[in-house]
Amino acid sequence: MSKPLSDHDRKKQISVRGLAGVENVTELKQSFNRHLHFTLVKDRNVATKRDYYFALANTVREHLIGRWIRTQQYYYEKDPKRVYYISLEFYMGRTLQNTMVNLALENACDEAMYQLGLDMEELEDMEEDAGLGNGGLGRLAGKNHRTIHKSYIQSVETNDRNSPFLFVFSPFPACFLDSMASLGLAAYGYGIRYEFGIFNQKIVNGWQVEEADDWLRFGNPWEKARPEYMRPVHFYGRTEHHPDGVKWVDTQVVLALPYDTPVPGYRNNVVNTMRLWSAKAPCEFNLKDFNVGGYIQAVLDRNLAENISRVLYPNDNFFEGKELRLKQEYFVVSATLQDIIRRFKVSKFGSREIARTDFSKLPDKVAIQLNDTHPAMAIPELMRVLVDEEKLSWEKAWDVCVRTCAYTNHTVLPEALERWPVDLFAHLLPRHLEIVYEINRRHLENVAAKFPGDSDRLRRMSLIEESGQKRINMAHLCIVGSHAVNGVAQIHSDILKATIFKDFYEMEPHKFQNKTNGITPRRWLVMCNPGLAEVIAERIGEDFIRDLDQLQTLRNYLNDEGFIRDIAKVKQENKLKFAVHLEEHYKVKINPNSMFDIQVKRIHEYKRQLLNCLHIITYYNRIKKEPNKHWTPRTVMIGGKAAPGYHTAKMIIRLITAIGEVINNDPVVGDRLKVIFLENYRVTLAERAIPAADLSEQISTAGTEASGTGNMKFMLNGALTIGTMDGANVEMAEEAGEDNFFIFGMRVDDVDALEKKGYHAQEYYNRLPELKQAIDQIAGGFFSPKQPELFKEIVNMLMHHDRFKVFADYEDYIKCQEKVNELYKNPKEWTKMVINNIAGCGKFSSDRTITQYAREIWGVEPTLDTIILYFSMWEHKTVKMNKKNRIKR
């Protein structure tokens, strides 16, 4: 249990956490007790910590509801252009604390719980992470790949709730929703309400073991089911062509039941909606079947339909076309488009409600953002609705479709791009296949007209890949059917234009843009690092929370001894707190004065956790060689989940834990070097680890990381970065100044040149004695004495099949780490570099990202001031009306 705040400390806290007025606290206590009694039907004699959490969640939720309703009323009255962000992944993490921060209730709730004898942190820990994200885990390598996927599919189809599944979070869509609400945009997030979230990772005897995460087993106090907006989604069947159009008939129907979750903006009274769809079977039973005994089987067969939203499909950045995955993608797209069109058709004219029928106006009222290719089916589905149901001509429908849709790409790995087999498409979505063929025919006519005689270009740009099994390239479909295409970091966007989408860029350069990712400072600073937020606010005020560019003014304090001291103090407090957490949960005692060197991200070869391992071993060998020398103490922490079928990733985890077992128990090394694998890394653990980090490892091979957002979170929370010029690292170094970054390794051009020349790991192995020693130790069983051959596969991969060229960057990486060690010995200069990094974070706010999307892709402007004024007037009228009613009564 955390120590309660003293009266002095509670009064001292500044308003970034909200005020704790007596009226607020009294009201919250009353509401809390009311929910405990009347919502949960418990009293203090039988209530558990989880009951208290639910009572508090319902209490906070009360403060959302009025704002939520009034926001939707405002959108209905003003009829602004709406933004629809469709994604198969929304990793929201926990909701309670984020909501309290955005509503300025955190201090009042802290005080109310304190007065009730409850510990706020304990209640917050009762909330389940809403792990509805799959960030992709790269190309699978290893013999277990197909076996794992086959067992996974079988487990879903048989509704086996104990089978391990793969999920890895991709939190930036959640950051985007926060920014959309904070900027007052009329925006909605659409996805799937998966029954199972990100798997829980256990480390047993050094190996990863997966456990299913039944995150909904205790219920979710933040969501509201909306059965009145249930929508039918059709599959299979056949098409009939008639003079008046095409009909899709004899289909199987699955119902999409929406669950709405409120998304509050930061202290602006705006509450937007995230709508997640859950699959339900139609309630239709044949009485004849019932009479012949088929009723029970009919009920059991309902599970097959509801499997669509059972669990997020294990996408590992290695595309493998499966019917369930395609069903999920069409399911969310179909239900969402029905919802969008329903809302578009309802229009206000003065005080009257009228039906809007002119679909040429759709792009003026609707912007659809496709988050990667997973929602690509929105393009043929929108065409089907406009042509088959609304009876628009193909040309008008296509113009509407292109002007409405936009596409964000997230990967440069060709093997990760979705390519659906034509046979599967024909079986599951026959009408959509016809539409895709027609889109492709017209598209290729345009290509041929612009590049006459270039048959190879026609082949490369076709939506249909003809070599081998015929497949539909979904990225090509997204580009052709959208008016804007963007990457998520400048280097990523440039690579797209120069390589995998080069032909499309040459044909339509105006479509291609860059939108560098960002993170929300509300969750990733104010909420997870309140001490740092308060130190900053004391110097420059609180407006930086809404305008992160204001952090630039912190450079005025670079030589302010008091500010330098305060920044260092906050970091040390965060490290002490995290050290206590590690001792409680990992049973390992670490030196809080050591450098906290952290690499947390999904386990993958291109993330190069193996390069980190080689540095750890090298540093260990140096300490062993000269034990009496003064070494900079380090605690190296690595965390992340491996796809259940990604054999090499699982072996990397086992290597990390094996290295830790040897080093952590070596008395010669002591607390000068510790290695910890952070089990079950997730958003909640990130919120603890990132504020405590001194050094952030961002060491992927140049040209392989699209952007990254973890790198931005570390930078904002006062960690220095050691990294390659890859993804958003490039722009981060530009903003902080390259002198304030530990940059090493090959650039993209260097990687390309080495690829052409030929990468030979043996040359580096022979030339670099410390590298050779480390590899020989891994291969010879030094870290696995009971199983000397355990890591032979990893060594063989590094020596003969390493696509990501670990050895090529080893020497420069080791030299750069030496610079890190030297600077860490000078706390004042280290902290000044930290301040420069924090001051350079303004660009990496998701508010900036969303503002650019809004103005340059969606064609909308934030309406924050208008909404606040509208709410103020509404609330003023309500207060006056209530006074009149009291007088009348």
Cite the active site residues.
410, 601-602, 607, 709, 713
- As a whole number of Å, the CA-based R_g of the chain is 28
Residues 6+ apart with CB under 8 A from 228: none
Helix extents (H) in 277-372? 287-291, 295-306, 323-345, 362-365
Q: How many CB atoms lie within 10 A of CB 172?
A: 28
Provide the CA 205 distance to its chain's centre, in angstroms. Answer: 30
Q: How many CB atoms lie within 10 A of CB 547?
A: 13
Q: What is the DSSP string of 615-654?
A: HHHHHHHHHHHSTTS----EEEEEE----TT-HHHHHHHH
Q: What residue has token string 């199972």?
A: 196
Residues 6+ apart with CB under 8 A from 861: 854, 855
Q: How far apart are CA 109 and CA 56, in angstroms?
A: 8
How many CA within 13 A on the CB side of residue 14? 14
Tokens for 745, please give them.
Answer: 């390794």
Q: How many CB atoms lie within 10 A of CB 738?
A: 11
Residue 283: enclosing H or E segment and its boundaries?
Answer: none
Q: What ranges make up the beta strands (E) of 47-176?
A: 82-86, 90-93, 130-132
Instruction: Give backbone dihedrals phi and psi of 479, rounded to 5 degrees, phi first.
Output: -65, -45
Q: How far apart are CA 58 and CA 609, in angstroms?
A: 42
> Would residue 749 be called left, alpha or beta, if left means φ above 0 and alpha means ψ between -120 and 50 degrees?
alpha
572 closest CA partner among 831, 826, 837, 823: 831
Q: How far apart are CA 193 and CA 313, in angstroms?
A: 13
53 closest CA partner among 291, 218, 181, 273: 218
Q: Contact, 328 vs 336, CB < 8 A?
A: no
Residues 6+ apart with CB under 8 A from 698: 705, 708, 710, 711, 721, 722, 723, 724, 726, 727, 729
Q: Cα angle at 520 between 519 and 521, to 5 degrees?
A: 115
β-partners of residue 369 are 85, 406
The strand pair at 224-225 and 231-235 is best described as: unpaired
β-partners of residue 673 are 634
Q: How many CB atoms lie within 10 A of CB 392?
A: 20
14 closest CA partner among 531, 405, 421, 628: 531
Residue 354: enclosing H or E segment and its boundaries?
Answer: strand 352-355
